[in-house]
Amino acid sequence: MNIQYAQHITRRHFFHNCQVGIGGIALASLLGSDGVAAPEMVNPLQPRQPHFPARAKNVIFLHMAGSPPHLDLFDYKPELVKHNDEDCPAEYFQGKRFAFTKSTPKLLGTPRTFKQYGKSGAWFSDALPKLAEIADELTFIKSMNTDQFNHAPAQLMLYTGSPRVGRPSLGSWATYGLGSENSNLPGFVVLISGGTNPSAGKTVWGSGFLPSVYQGVQCRSTGDPVLYVNNPAGMSREMRRLSLDALRDLNEFQAEDPGSQRPLTRIAQYELAYRMQVSVPEVMDISKETAETIADYGAQPGGSSFANNCLLARRLVEDGVRYVQLFDWGWDFHGTNAGRGIRDGLTNRCKSMDQPVAALIRDLKSRGLLDETLVIWSGEFGRTPFREGRTAKSKILGRDHYPDCYTMFMAGGGLKPGITYGASDDLGFYVAEDKVHVHDLQATILHLLGFDHEKLVYRYQGRDFRLTDVHGDVVKGIVS
């Protein structure tokens, strides 16, 4: 329902429902003279224009849940290697909170081999040979900063702008502002790999106080793409259509009650689910891709993997889905076992990520989609430049959570390619140049989608809310 209409009529409608007799008649007269009529019901996901011309039309956010060790992947620190295994200077850790480190830790220079690639001279470790090949397509931010040092609050902070549950996610804000270009598919799709949801759970793709039609729809690459979207046993598609028509009539009757948005949202969700029964299985079938494309991603039709999800992400944005969110669990490299060590453990983990992400960016570019698709790769925070406290005497190397400084990269969607923005200090403890807080990142993503982040708001509980709360500045140095 039109929000302005609901806000205009709420107080009067209260008195009308109180059956105040003559006052109600007078009120009806006033409403008639005001010329306020119930708005026509519209699809809440219909495409809408942003505040200004957008640089990007779609977003693919690749989240490495648990947070990769950026100092072993992108942010090479020779000085840290030089002082490897020395006691960490007290000024770097005293008075700060860490997840698992309490006593004086040892500095940890990377055991990985680093080289520079491309005309940009971007640094990559030996764990990322495929991404290194497309170095000049990537836009690095090496001065990221967040307020949270544990997984769930940091993920909430990144996606909702608050470390507490209840706010809409970034994908929900994007679809609320822009709608979707395909009425048969959700505007916001979520794909999970690694066998586990992110630490913050489904709240990181929830709609919060926005209408629920804007929440992310989780799809699966094996089995039914969307749980419960198919008809139950004994119900034909024709019977489903009749039942939805009846529900629609009931909801439309309730929608005549001024100020009520929920019936319209329910209608939109039911109708979308009906259309998805045909459209989702089609778009989720990667066997329709060429053998060459499937091999390039390292995907396996019928399987479930991050590689499959990267290929699905391209298919989804190609079919008009506005925002695709991938969560890949397994990037919490504490060094508490061999799989979580930054030698072999990181090598093995990167094998399943490096190839499909590079393939996704190449594929988008070859199809003319990269210029209008913003690809984002990140964790929820960084990793410490010292050893994780529990593994101080172990042969397996690992790092603790670190919010003060970390690295992420993006590609496409109105960015300057082949650049590195910001820098950490020589040991990787602090931001040395051009700090970028997660609120700044959020403001920049919305800017690339055509929004002034201070004006993309939703009124709730008497005030206007926005993704960036009262913070955030666009990082103009990375925008082309």
Per-residue model confidence (pLDDT) at position 40: 45
Residue 339 · residue 194 · CB < 8 Å: no
- In this prediction the pTM is 0.84
| Residue 450: C-alpha distances to residues 22, 52, 56, 114 (Å) | 49, 5, 8, 37
The CATH code that applies to domain 58-225+284-478 is 3.40.720
Strand, coil or helix: 218: strand
Per-residue model confidence (pLDDT) at position 393: 85
H or E element, residue 153: helix 151-160
DSSP states along 220-269? -SSSSSSTT-SPPTT--HHHHHHHHHHHHHHHHHHHTSTT--HHHHHHHH
Residue 274 · residue 244 · CB < 8 Å: yes
CA 323 from chain center: how many Å? Answer: 8
State both tokens at 157: 């902070």
| Residue 385: C-alpha distances to residues 110, 332, 400 (Å) | 9, 15, 9
CA distance 271 to 120: 48
**Tens of each residue's pLDDT in the chain, 480 residues:** 444 444 444 554 444 444 444 444 343 443 343 433 334 446 788 899 999 999 999 999 999 999 999 999 999 999 999 999 999 999 999 989 899 998 999 999 999 999 999 999 999 999 999 999 999 999 999 999 999 999 999 999 999 999 999 999 999 999 999 999 888 888 999 999 998 999 999 999 999 999 988 999 998 656 555 544 565 666 565 665 566 566 555 555 555 565 555 555 555 554 555 455 545 678 888 999 999 999 999 999 988 899 999 999 999 999 999 999 999 999 999 999 999 999 999 999 999 999 999 999 999 999 999 999 999 999 999 999 999 999 888 999 999 999 999 999 999 999 999 999 999 999 999 999 999 999 999 999 999 999 999 999 999 999 999 999 999 999 999 999
**CB-count burial class (<10 Å; 0-12, 13-18, 19+) for 293:** middle
Per-residue model confidence (pLDDT) at position 185: 86
Domain map (residue ranges) of the chain: 3-34, 58-225+284-478
- DSSP for residue 215: S
Q: In the block, which residue shows the tokens 């891709």?
A: 289
Per-residue model confidence (pLDDT) at position 328: 97
Per-residue model confidence (pLDDT) at position 262: 58
Residue 225 identity: P
